[in-house]
């Protein structure tokens, strides 16, 4: 019959699915500005904003300083002008009419001022000194001075100087000095009239009794402030552009230097993403980028090692699948019929390839040979050893009538080729269909189980013998013996491997021999095919999803005829 399990197809080419398919990873294409450009723009913008804010503050402070400077000059000038000796010309303007000055001077105890010849003489005598004082004031102030004059208290009559033509716009006071802002009209009334933005500073001229006798007026140009500020603004803009250009260049160079490791790391990542896991990423600094580069290199090397492991694993799995296929091909698709006996078998594959084998073949003298063979360990080596044992058994069985002698011959041929620690256990049962006679030989295998009709549990049938490969001749030959067994009608024999008793549930508890013996006895009365299905179902129910470590293999014989 066919084994009770279907084998998986042979695995695909090594590494086709198991290895990391980095070629499927597409290289990411960057868009937009790079890190260096973004850094340069950010630095340039910061520098530009900083320079503009600094320039604005400087401009405002400079404008204030220039305005304060011209105000200080005007105030100082008009105060200096206000000390002009005005007593000499006092009688010549309206303030001295009707003798008011005489009365006030008399009240203050001052000598009277003569109203006729003496004031005029004093005026003419002191006028050069006053004009000299004005000349020195003009020279001291310089080009900022537009005009200077002494006016009467009403500022309508010119006492000394020229008439002012001034259009007032705003007026404010500072330290008893009136400051008027507006437009000064030079050469008023002429075709060549020139309008100049100016400031007029006016201060009272008082005599020795504190009376206002005149008004001193100084007109200063305010356009110098605007010209100076305009020049400062132009220079500041030029400096801003100069510093901005230098800042852009320096920030670009710095960004190139800073981002060079990042660009190198990005190139390394692209190379690795293209599938070259063997590529090494070198760190050129001890900063965060250097740490990132070292960690990426370590990760890449780990992936490269993992890929190698996965390829090896894929190759091993491929080899295991090939062995599974070979092992499945070695198991008989259908067991031959044995007169007077029902003969069925089952094999459940596990996670690992086990070295198990069962078969029913011809033996000398017209008998049948039922065999279950198992190798130590698992994997490819175990499967190969079992294959060797199977080939020897089938090749030598036709010339032997004794199962023990057959095992002796197989051991002589097999033992020299087994490495230390490797062995094969075998359970052979010779069946004589004509008489129903059973002869058993056990080479270190799990004992044959006998399930008698109506018994509550299967009973092991022990026979002496050590496993194939432990000894090359004398000891094995002496220990292995044939042992006969009388099998009554309805009784069942079970040839199985140790793995059947080692089935574990989800709690890790093994099924055990006693439970297995009761299970076999309970199902022994059923037909062979039903017995196999019921046994496998009971095993699956006990396992409840737990992993099967080794293959479960067994062969069962049930006598259906005879007098015994």
* Cβ pair 399, 377 in contact under 8 A: no
pLDDT band of 130, cuts 50, 70, 90: low
Task: Give which of 93, 111, 120 is closest to 102, Cα–Cα.
Answer: 111
Give yes or no for residue 409 having a pLDDT over 90. Answer: yes
Q: What is the mean pLDDT of residues 132-144?
A: 67
pLDDT in the model for residue 185: 76
Digit-coded pLDDT (tens) for 284-303? 777 777 778 788 888 888 88
Q: What is the mean pLDDT of residues 507-519?
A: 89
Cα–Cα distance list, 24 to 21, 27, 274, 432 (Å): 6, 9, 8, 64
Digit-coded pLDDT (tens) for 14-66? 334 333 443 433 444 445 566 667 777 777 778 778 877 877 887 778 777 77
How far apart are the C-alpha atoms of 21 and 307, rounded to whole Å? 10
Give yes or no for residue 342 having a pLDDT over 70. Answer: yes
pLDDT band of 450, cuts 50, 70, 90: very high
pLDDT band of 330, cuts 50, 70, 90: confident
How far apart are the C-alpha atoms of 82 and 66, rounded to whole Å? 24
* Cβ pair 313, 18 in contact under 8 A: yes
Tokens in use for 95? 């303030």
Least confident of 243-252, 347-356, 429-438: 347-356
pLDDT in the model for residue 135: 67
Give yes or no for residue 524 having a pLDDT over 70. Answer: yes
Please list the alpha-helical segments (H only) found in 415-559. 474-479, 513-523, 528-543
Q: What is the mean pLDDT of residues 66-91?
A: 70
Strands of the 424-432 sheet, one edge to the other: 354-363, 367-378, 424-432, 437-443, 483-485
How far apart are the C-alpha atoms of 433 and 365, rounded to whole Å? 11
How far apart are the C-alpha atoms of 80 and 58, rounded to whole Å? 32
Q: How many residues are given for the chain?
A: 564
In terms of C-beta density within 10 A (0-12 exposed, 13-18 middle, 19 or more buried), how is residue 260 classed?
middle
Distance of alpha carbon 204 from its chain centroid, rounded?
Answer: 81
Cα–Cα distance list, 164 to 79, 168, 171, 256, 451 (Å): 18, 12, 16, 66, 144
pLDDT band of 283, cuts 50, 70, 90: confident
Q: What is the mean pLDDT of residues 243-262?
A: 76
Q: What is the mean pLDDT of residues 238-242?
A: 80
Q: How many CB atoms lie within 10 A of CB 528?
A: 19
Least confident of 12-21, 133-142, 360-369, 411-420: 12-21
How far apart are the C-alpha atoms of 424 and 41, rounded to whole Å? 78
Percentage of the residues of the chain whose pLDDT score is greater than 70: 74
What end-to-end distance do the CA atoms of the chain give, in Å?
27
Largest CA distance in the chain: 186
Give 265-300 as a DSSP string: HHHHHHHHHTT-TTPPPPP--SSHHHHHHHHHHHHH
Give yes or no for residue 87 having a pLDDT over 60. Answer: no
pLDDT in the model for residue 92: 47
pLDDT in the model for residue 253: 79
pLDDT in the model for residue 443: 94
More confident residue, 378 or 533: 533
Task: Give which of 400, 479, 398, 474 is closest to 443, Cα–Cα.
Answer: 479
How far apart are the C-alpha atoms of 185 and 229, rounded to whole Å? 23
How far apart are the C-alpha atoms of 308 and 347, rounded to whole Å? 34
Give yes or no for residue 266 having a pLDDT over 60. Answer: yes
pLDDT band of 494, cuts 50, 70, 90: very high
How far apart are the C-alpha atoms of 541 and 539, rounded to whole Å? 5
pLDDT band of 115, cuts 50, 70, 90: very low
Q: What is the mean pLDDT of residues 259-279?
A: 78
pLDDT band of 109, cuts 50, 70, 90: low
Q: What is the mean pLDDT of residues 358-372?
A: 91
Percentage of the residues of the chain whose pLDDT score is greater than 90: 16
* Cβ pair 183, 166 in contact under 8 A: yes
* Cβ pair 347, 5 in contact under 8 A: yes
Q: Which of 23-32, 182-191, 331-340, 543-552 has the highest mean pLDDT?
A: 331-340
Helix axis angle for 513-523 and 528-543, nearest 10°, is: 140
Q: Which of 73-77, 417-421, 437-441 has the highest mean pLDDT?
A: 437-441
Angle subtended at Cα 534 by Cα 327 and Cα 344, rounded to the nearest 5 degrees: 45
Q: Give residues with Cβ within 8 angstroms of 338, minimum separation 6.
A: 360, 368, 431, 433, 557
More confident residue, 353 or 441: 441
* Cβ pair 380, 352 in contact under 8 A: no
Tokens in use for 27? 């290289």
Helix, strand and coil content of the chain, in percent to the nearest 5, comes to 45, 20, 30
* Cβ pair 187, 135 in contact under 8 A: no
Q: Which of 92-101, 212-221, 236-245, 410-419 has the highest mean pLDDT?
A: 410-419
Tokens in use for 292? 């990132």
Task: Give which of 194, 195, 212 is closest to 203, Cα–Cα.
Answer: 212
Q: What is the mean pLDDT of residues 407-411?
A: 94
Give yes or no for residue 77 having a pLDDT over 80. Answer: no
Mean pLDDT of the chain: 76
Domains of the chain: 1-25+274-320 (no CATH), 82-221 (no CATH), 331-559 (3.60.40.10)
Q: What is the value of pTM for the model shown?
A: 0.51
Give yes or no for residue 454 having a pLDDT over 50. Answer: yes
pLDDT in the model for residue 324: 72
Give yes or no for residue 461 having a pLDDT over 80. Answer: yes
């Amino acid at each position: 019959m066919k084994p009770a399990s279907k084998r998986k197809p042979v695995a695909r080419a090594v590494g086709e699915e198991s290895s990391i398919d980095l070629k499927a990873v597409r290289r990411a294409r960057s868009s937009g500005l790079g890190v260096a450009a973004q850094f340069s723009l950010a630095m340039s913008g910061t520098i530009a904003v900083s320079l503009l804010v600094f320039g604005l503050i400087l401009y405002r402070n400079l404008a204030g300083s220039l305005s304060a400077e011209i105000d200080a000059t005007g105030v100082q000038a008009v105060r200096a002008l206000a000390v002009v000796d005005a007593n000499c010309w006092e009688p010549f303007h309206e303030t001295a009419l009707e003798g008011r000055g005489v009365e006030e001077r008399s009240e203050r105890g001052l000598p009277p001022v003569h109203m006729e010849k003496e004031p005029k003489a004093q005026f003419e005598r002191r006028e050069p000194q006053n004009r000299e004082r004005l000349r020195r004031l003009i020279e001291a102030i310089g080009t900022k001075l537009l005009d200077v004059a002494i006016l009467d208290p009403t500022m309508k009559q010119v006492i000394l100087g020229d008439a002012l033509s001034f259009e007032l716009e705003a007026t404010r006071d500072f330290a008893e000095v009136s400051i008027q802002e507006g437009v000064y009209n030079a050469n008023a009334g002429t075709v060549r009239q020139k309008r100049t933005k100016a400031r007029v500073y006016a201060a009272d001229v008082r005599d020795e009794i504190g009376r206002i006798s005149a008004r001193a007026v100084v007109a200063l140009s305010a356009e110098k402030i605007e010209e100076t500020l305009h020049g400062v603004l132009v220079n500041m803009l030029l400096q801003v552009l100069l510093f901005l250009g230098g800042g852009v260049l320096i920030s670009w160079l710095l960004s190139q230097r800073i981002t060079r490791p990042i660009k190198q790391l990005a190139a390394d990542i692209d190379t690795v993403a293209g599938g070259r896991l063997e590529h090494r990423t070198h760190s050129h600094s001890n900063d965060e980028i250097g740490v990132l580069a070292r960690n990426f290199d370590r990760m890449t090397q780990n992936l490269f090692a993992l890929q190698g492991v996965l390829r090896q694993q894929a190759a091993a799995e491929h080899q295991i699948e090939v062995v599974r296929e070979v092992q499945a091909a070695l198991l008989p698709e259908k067991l031959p019929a044995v007169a007077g006996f029902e003969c069925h078998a089952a094999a459940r594959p596990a996670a690992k390839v086990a070295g198990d084998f069962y078969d029913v073949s011809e033996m000398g003298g017209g008998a049948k040979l039922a065999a279950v063979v198992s190798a130590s360990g698992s994997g490819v080596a175990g499967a190969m050893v079992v294959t060797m044992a199977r080939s020897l058994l089938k090749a030598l069985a036709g010339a032997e009538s004794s199962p023990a002698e057959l095992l002796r011959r197989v051991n002589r041929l097999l033992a020299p080729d087994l490495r230390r620690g490797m062995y094969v256990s075998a359970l052979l049962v010779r069946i004589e269909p004509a008489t129903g006679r059973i002869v058993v030989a056990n080479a270190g295998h799990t004992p044959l189980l006998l399930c008698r009709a109506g018994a509550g549990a299967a009973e092991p049938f022990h026979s002496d013998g050590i496993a194939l490969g432990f000894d090359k001749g004398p000891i094995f030959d002496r220990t292995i013996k044939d042992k006969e067994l009388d099998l009554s009608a309805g009784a069942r024999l079970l040839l199985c491997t140790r793995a059947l008793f080692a089935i574990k549930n989800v709690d890790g508890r093994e099924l055990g021999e006693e439970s297995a013996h009761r299970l076999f006895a309970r199902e022994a009365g059923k037909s062979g095919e039903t017995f196999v299905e019921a046994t496998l179902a009971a095993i699956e129910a006990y396992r409840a999803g737990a992993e099967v470590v080794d293959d479960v293999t067994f062969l069962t014989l049930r006598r259906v005829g005879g007098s015994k």
